[in-house]
Structure 1
Amino acid sequence: MIITDTHTHLYSEAFDSDRDEVIKRAIKNGIQRFFIPAIDSTYTDAMLQLQKAYPDHVFLMAGLHPTHVKEDFEKELQHIEELLANHTYYAIGEIGIDLYWDKSYLKQQQTSFKRQIQIAKKHNLPIVIHCRDAFDEVFEVLEDEKSDDLFGIFHCFTGDYEQAQKAISYGMKLGIGGVVTFKNGKIDTFLAQIDVKHIVLETDSPYLAPVPYRGKRNESAYLMEIINKLALIYDCTIAEIAEITTQNSKEVFGI
């Protein structure tokens, strides 16, 4: 049984004291594929070192996180192009719009998001979308950029059924993580109406730990709690969830 965590920040400082143990715990649980989203250029070296240490398990993305979009975002986009020319990346992410923390850079976030979608298309790569308090704004950009070569993952999907359908219509899989185990998460109330072929698994570790670890540091091994919940929702086995979602991840990332 091969399980894929499509979104984990294993290079984060939160894992500096026990990163190898965290990865070994996950692999022991069958979680053998880790897709690593970028934040900004300050993490590039740590990400490359992680990939070098675990070449059979770690697959990198390049991108500029919306909360790190500032006046100088053009430099970050140039850095992404340079990375793509010199290393292997499997997605552009995580990219998108975040209006939870700061609305002052909305225009720059919109421009950065659109430009990174265009970079993804140029390199025939999927995108991995971050959306917080910004569904309308994200969908507006996706509508402008919709095409046969637009595809990827709507990371940490927390919308409603209609928004799920809309995301899928733009070629996105839904990234399902710890929120599905929360009492107030809401997505568990309609997820059974979404074909599992549209879903991939993620932790977003070290963030958003599932119940019963909520509030603690998240890690990829906790993906088992998410799989258990999805097996209940879809009335199928853990092995079936693992197989289908890993196949879905292969369709997205090409590996």
Structure 2
Amino acid sequence: MNATYTLLELRRITRDWSGTFFTAVLPAFFYLIFGSTVDAKSATAGNGNVAMYVMISMAAYGAVTATTSIGGHAAVERQQGWGRQLGLTPLADSSYIGMKALIAMTVAAVPILLTFALGAATGAHGSAAAWAFSALLCLVGSAVFAVYGLLVGTAFRSEAAVGAASGSLVIFAFLGNVFVPLSGTMLEIARFTPLYGYVGLARYPLTEGQLSATVSDPLWLLVANVVVWLTVFGTLAVVFVRRGRERQ
């Protein structure tokens, strides 16, 4: 990979203050509102407390917002001629993909670190294993939504569409039991939505799948949700990439 190109890309992204706000600051702000100030923040939640439960949820949401945006813009860049420009350089496709993956993970780490730091400073408590593994799962699992961004970018070839894809994550979050605890029929529906498995896995080191005194998610269900959606996003992205090549 080309370190110079990677650093230039990171600088370009960080100059986008509005994007940085929504990617990093907004999830941390949500945590402060919904996690650190509620009366029940010190109540027990699995291997920690409610504040940590909300902290993980908001960090995961920020991470997928970042990777969706990076993946989508990478696809749009390639289809609007940047790929041909790079083709004039010694940079291989595999290096380009590797750099974009590194950039996506780096940007996704920012809201995770910021939200976890605020959590530690405002009363989020949990076991050491829960802190470490939840942060790792937030970061690794967010890669699924880089593929989602890639799908939208290849399907619509528009930066506006990529922005809409990031916005759609708000809907996925509400439907996926991220912002508001769901129950009954809505919870059953939520289990089939894209964010449910990812956020459930991120919380698993804390909750061990327990949603309430009587309801829990087995680990296999959360893993299956992530694998299925990764397959769906990946397959559709390949279809649209091939369709785009046939038009050229």
For normalisation by structure 2, the TM-score amounts to 0.26
Higher relative contact order (CA 8 A, sep 6+): 2
Q: Which has the larger radius of gyration?
A: 2
Higher strand share: 1
Bigger share in helix? 2
